[in-house]
Every structure is written in C-alpha cells, then in structure tokens.
Structure 1
Amino acid sequence: MSNILHIGPVMVPLDRLVALALMLLFLTACEWRLRRDGRRSAFWPGLLALAAGLIAARGAYVWQHRVSFALDPIAALHVWLGGWSWSAGVVAAGAVLVLSLRRARPAAQGLALLAALTLLWAGFERLAPRDPPLMLPASLAFERLDGDSLTLGDVRGGPVVLNLWATWCPPCRRELPMLVQAAAEPGMPPVLLVDQGEEAGHVRHFLETERLSTAPVLLDPDSRLGEITGGKALPTTLFVDGDGVVRHSHVGQISRVQLDIALRTLRAGSDGAP
C-alpha cells in the first residue's frame, strides 16, 4: 500500500512521519527565532502551542466521532492509534502562541510559521500517493473450516469487512476477540476473518485454544487476497462496498472505535451512491 513505509519488519504510516517532521520543525524554528530576539525561555512558547494543538486536534476528532467513541471511551486516550482534527489543532496552537508571546512582532512571526507549516501539510495531503479504488473479483473463493467454500460474490450487495490475519501474528491475535465480538453484534455487516496461508487443522486448533470457535473464519491458503490487495502486512482490514470495491483499508491492529468509524463512513458512501 502506497501510504505505508516498510522499514524491515516495521510498518510506518507516511502521514505520521510527515506530521512528526513538521512538528519538530515548528519547535526548532520557534526556538531559533525567539532566541534571536533575546528571549531566555525560547523553548516554552512553541512547546505549549504544540501541546495545545495536539490536545485540541485529538479532542475535536473524538467529539466529531463521539458516537463511535461511546463504544469504548478509554480509546480516546489511545493517541498512538491516530485520529486528529488538524484544523482545530492549528487554531488552538495559534491562540496559545499569541497569548504566550504577547508582543505583536514575535506573535505575528509565530503565526506566519504556523501558517507556512499548515500549507505544507495541506500540500502533502493533496499530493500524497493514494491507492486507486480496487474492485475485488466476485469469483475470489475461500474455504470454510467445515470444508465448504464461499466466494466474494456470495456476500455482495452490502458492506463487507475482510480482515487478513494469521495465527503467528501478535497484533492479529490481540484484535481477534474484538472482531469476533463485533461480528456477532446485531446489525453488523459480515465481518470475515480471512486467514492467510495456514492449514485448516492448525487454525481450528488455535481457535479452540483461544475459545474463539464461533469466529467467522475463512481460509485463504494461497494468500490470494493479500496478493490482489497488496495487503502483505498483517493484520490488514479492508472495508468493501456492495459492488466489491475496497473503499478503505486499515493496516495494523484495529480498535473497536476505528472499526465503527470506518463502517459508518463506508455506509454513508454507499447510501450516497447513485
């Protein structure tokens, strides 16, 4: 997937690297400019503005998706999983800069720096590589643990969640109980856990050991789904619309809140489709 950097076995989202670089640049430039003006406490205005911006960006995102976060309120503190409203963050950071710098000239320079970095971020979001919409073939077949088969055409007509996983993958194992529970909730679209490249006996033993024998597991012994979608990193969760088009993908462990937000977005897109 084009927005993920692979550094050995580590997956790093490109947008997080860019955001981190811009924040470090903001702190460095603020301190350098204030030291030139002879301020001894040159580091703190930028740090306070950055902290206020991050808190506001996270708070605005949580409020925007408050219905989803109500499913797991503590997830609001899991900032490492992502979820930010950067416009709210920029406004908060600018306000704190003005209040902490007080004088007109350094405040104006700080705001100009913040505006320049905001434009860089906006340019990155506009120009960042994005995967084109991918339609999964209806003939793509998987094996059930009971020996029967299922094709993607069998579940066409509404949203479907496909989770690529394996028993040897630690984050897959961590998210699996949540996905099994979510799949059993009333009104939930099909959530299919597609094991990549493992034998039925091994997967069945794992599920029995973990007391997850009711999991909606399918087998993809040749890992064809991963090859077609480029989801070679596990776990990867695909959100597929009723026509079989992958509208969103989540690489890495997914939370219940992230699952709900992605599903609401998928349903809204499907409802608005002609």
Structure 2
Amino acid sequence: MISNEALHLGPLMLPWALLCLVLALLITAMVGRKIGQQEQWSTEIQQRFQDSIWSSVWIGLLGARLIFIGLNMESYLASPIDMLKIQDKGFHLIGGVLTGSAWFWWKNSAMTKKAKAILLLIFVMLMGAGWAVQKIMYQDSHYPSLSFPSLKLAHQDPSEIIALKQFQGQPTVVNLWASWCPPCHREMPVLQHAQDQYPEVHFVMLNQGEEVDTVRAYLTKHHFSFKHVLLDVQGEMPQAVNSLGLPTTLFFNAQGQLIARHQGELSQAMLQQYLKKMNP
C-alpha cells in the first residue's frame, strides 16, 4: 500500500524520506566508483570514500537532531527526556545536510575538490528532488467529505454531527487516537497544552473505533478538556487520508489544505514546528 508518508509492506512501513535517502546514497556511491576509476583512486581513497558515505549519514543525523534540540531548547527543558525520543522526527534538515557534508569533505581530504563537490551536489540534488515530490503530493490533499458525531461530556449520547469542512477558515489539527494506544495517551497533555496556548487553532480529537462511554470515561479520568472530540466509529478517516497506525496527526491550513502529517507520538517541540508551518 502506498500513502503520502510511506510505502507499506504488510506491517512494515518504509517512509519516503528514508527511501529517498537510501536511493540518493546508492546513486552517489555508484557515481563515486565511476569517478574513482577515471581518476585512478588508490585502494585507501576508495575505502575511505565508501566508509565516509555511511558515516556521513550518522553524523548528519546527529547534527540535525542536536541543532533541532538547540533551536527548541525551551520546549525540551520542560521535558528533558524528550531529547532522546527521536521518534518525534525532530531533525533540522539543512543543519543535518551541512553537518554531514562537512564530515564527508573532511574524511575525503585525499580526494580532489572537484570530485567531492560533484558527489555532494548529486546527493543534495537527489534529496531535494525527493523532498519536492513529497511536497507536491500534499498540494491536492484537503479535508475529506466526512462527518462525525461530536462527543459532549455533559450528555449521554453524541449530540450533533460535525462535518470536517466546518473547521475551514482556521488552521486545524486533527488527531487520530484511541484510549488503548500508549503513545496516544503520552501525547495528550502536549495537545491539551497546545489547545490552550493557540486559541486561533482548532484541535480536533478524532477517536478511532471506540464506544461513547469508553471515550467519555477516558477523558474524564485524565481530566482532558478538548473543545472538539469527534467519534470515528467505523474508521473512515484513516481510509480517507490513506493513513495506517495510531496516533496520526494531520495539519490543515485555514484553506482546508493538508500541509503536513505526523505518524507516531508528538513532542511539544515538534508540534510547535508544525504549528509554525500552519501560521507562517
């Protein structure tokens, strides 16, 4: 199954960003071997080049993570353990590319500057092309034509039917969650705090497949007071947006266009980055 986020092979999910990275590395390695043959690299230079390709990835990822943490230090100081949660996908893209490129340049000091420049340019262009294609895939994604019952804690039954398109006009965060999902539970306080901090943004908590009493009891027990809690009993939303797994968070701008999605647990720092994209 193919989604905007990843290639799904049964239970295995391969993010497009990862696939683009692997493809870019393989092509860069192939071009490097060709250049090495033309320039008659020594065995030592060839080995150093091959080693540096993969080590540059790890150094780049480390640099991207540290730079992201540094730029969002206030959020991480509130919960320092979040610095270790790389599953929040908090990486600074440009910082990572620059860090990895600097490492590659330094490790291949015996290589000609022209060869290093060509290889780095090829890698950056391939990654840029992959990023651009993924952005284009989002351009035609808008609110699906779906309506869901709204949960009102003061009443016994869902009180009204809400169409997602009703939220158009303001930036909107739609979170797909369930009470049995541990990462959903861990990110709830982050979303609750963000709702209080950003009154100009709608936060829609779209429960997946649970009964009214279960949802109400969970929210009451943990003292969550979200303004918009909707019930997707049949699991229509994941099918409409081609999403697998919980939690999934969708970010729509005021025009109703899907500008980003996050699969997995959100940290406060990462959520703020998405909110900045919604309010440039």
| TM-score bracket, shorter-length normalisation | 0.7 to 0.9
Q: Distance in 2 between matches of 1:136 and 1:48?
A: 41
Deviation at 1:213, TM superposition (A): 4.6
Deviates more, 1:198-207 or 1:128-137: 128-137
Q: Which residue of 2 aligns with 1:102?
A: 109
Secondary structure at 1:125's aligned position in 2? helix
Deviation at 1:140, TM superposition (A): 2.4
Q: Which residue of 2 aligns with 1:180?
A: 192
Q: Which residue of 2 aligns with 1:229?
A: 241
Contact 2:209 2:234 in 1 (8 A): yes
TM-score scaled by length of structure 1 = 0.75
Q: Distance in 2 between matches of 1:139 and 1:52?
A: 44
Write out per-residue CA displacement over residues 87-118 of structure 1, whole angstroms, 9 at most, x where no aligned residue: 4444434433443333353x543443232222
Q: Figure out how many residues of one structure are paired with residues of the other and give that number.
A: 263
Secondary structure at 2:176's aligned position in 1? strand
Q: Does 1:117 align with 2:129?
A: no
Q: 1:70 aligns with which of 71, 74, 93?
A: 74
Q: 1:149 aligns with which of 152, 160, 172?
A: 160
Q: Which residue of 2 aligns with 1:17?
A: 19
Deviation at 1:150, TM superposition (A): 5.0
Deviates more, 1:168-177 or 1:86-95: 86-95
Deviation at 1:249, TM superposition (A): 2.0
Q: Which residue of 1 aligns with 2:214?
A: 202
Q: Does 1:38 align with 2:40?
A: no
Write out per-residue CA displacement over residues 60-100 of structure 1, whole angstroms, 9 at most, x where no aligned residue: 4455xx2x552224445443432444444444344334433
Q: Distance in 1 between matches of 2:103 and 2:255?
A: 47
Q: Distance in 1 between matches of 2:194 and 2:140?
A: 26
Q: Are the structure 2 counterparts of residues 168 and 134 from structure 1 closer, same or farther at C-alpha, using a change threshold of 3 Å? A: same
Q: Distance in 2 between matches of 1:58 and 1:155?
A: 34
Contact 1:97 1:111 in 2 (8 A): no
Q: Distance in 2 between matches of 1:71 and 1:100?
A: 35
Deviation at 1:194, TM superposition (A): 0.9
- Where in structure 1 are there 5+ consecutive unaligned residues? 269-274
Q: Distance in 2 between matches of 1:101 and 1:71?
A: 37
Deviates more, 1:120-129 or 1:246-255: 120-129
Q: Does 1:214 align with 2:222?
A: no
Q: 2:61 aligns with which of 36, 54, 57?
A: 54
Q: Does 1:7 align with 2:44?
A: no
Contact 2:204 2:230 in 1 (8 A): yes
Percent identity over the alignment is 24
Deviates more, 1:219-228 or 1:131-140: 131-140
- Where in structure 2 are there 5+ consecutive unaligned residues? none
Q: Distance in 2 between matches of 1:139 and 1:82?
A: 29
Contact 1:165 1:193 in 2 (8 A): yes
Deviates more, 1:110-119 or 1:160-169: 110-119
Deviates more, 1:173-182 or 1:85-94: 85-94
Deviates more, 1:23-32 or 1:138-147: 23-32
Write out per-residue CA displacement over residues 194-221 of structure 1, whole angstroms, 9 at most, x where no aligned residue: 1122210122233344x24534432122
Write out per-residue CA displacement over residues 134-169 of structure 1, whole angstroms, 9 at most, x where no aligned residue: 333687242214332252465443122111112233
TM-score scaled by length of structure 2 = 0.74
